[in-house]
Amino acid sequence: MNALQTPIDYLKGVGPNRADLLKKELGIFKYQDLLNLFPNRYLDKTKYYKINQLQRHTAEVQIVGKIVNLKIVEQKRGKRLVAKFVDDTGDMELVWFKGHKWIKDSLKLNVPYVIFGKCNWYNGFSMPHPKWNY
């Protein structure tokens, strides 16, 4: 028997529950099916944008800058955390609707960050729930 025709159940690290999930959700029954599973999404994290380069219908972008202000804003339904993010070309808002306390405690002002996410336009650019790292 060809090794690529081996049932996915025999792959080391794949137990019965994961095998069932692979079969149901992704249609993977054999090793060959796993090898033919290709990414359905590609994130390009090789390019860095400046805030003044953003356009209204840009896909996900990566920007280097600093958070200069953090505030919690009351809303009709709960709160949101808003950060003013700046680079040498402009500023924008970063917005979180959940996890305010943990995020606020984790972020530092005036420290360089790389943020990644999809930008929205509402009286200027904003990025809801960006991913960030130093």
Contact by Cβ (8 Å): 80, 99: no
Gap between the Cα atoms of 70 and 90, Å rounded: 17
Q: What is residue 76's predicted lDDT score, i.e. its pLDDT?
A: 87
**pLDDT tens-digit map of 46-75:** 999 999 999 988 789 999 999 999 999 998
As assigned by CATH, the class of the 51-133 domain is: mainly beta
**pLDDT tens-digit map of 71-91:** 999 988 889 999 999 999 999
Per DSSP bridges, beta strands 131-133 and 125-128 are: unpaired
Whether 30 shows a pLDDT value over 90: the answer reads: yes
Question: What letter would DSSP give residue 5?
Answer: G
Q: Give the tokens for residue 118.
A: 């999809």
Gap between the Cα atoms of 35 and 121, Å rounded: 40
Whether 1 shows a pLDDT value over 70: the answer reads: no
Strand partners for 133? 114
Gap between the Cα atoms of 130 and 95, Å rounded: 8
Domain ranges of the chain: 3-35, 51-133
> Tokens 């081996």 identify what position?
6
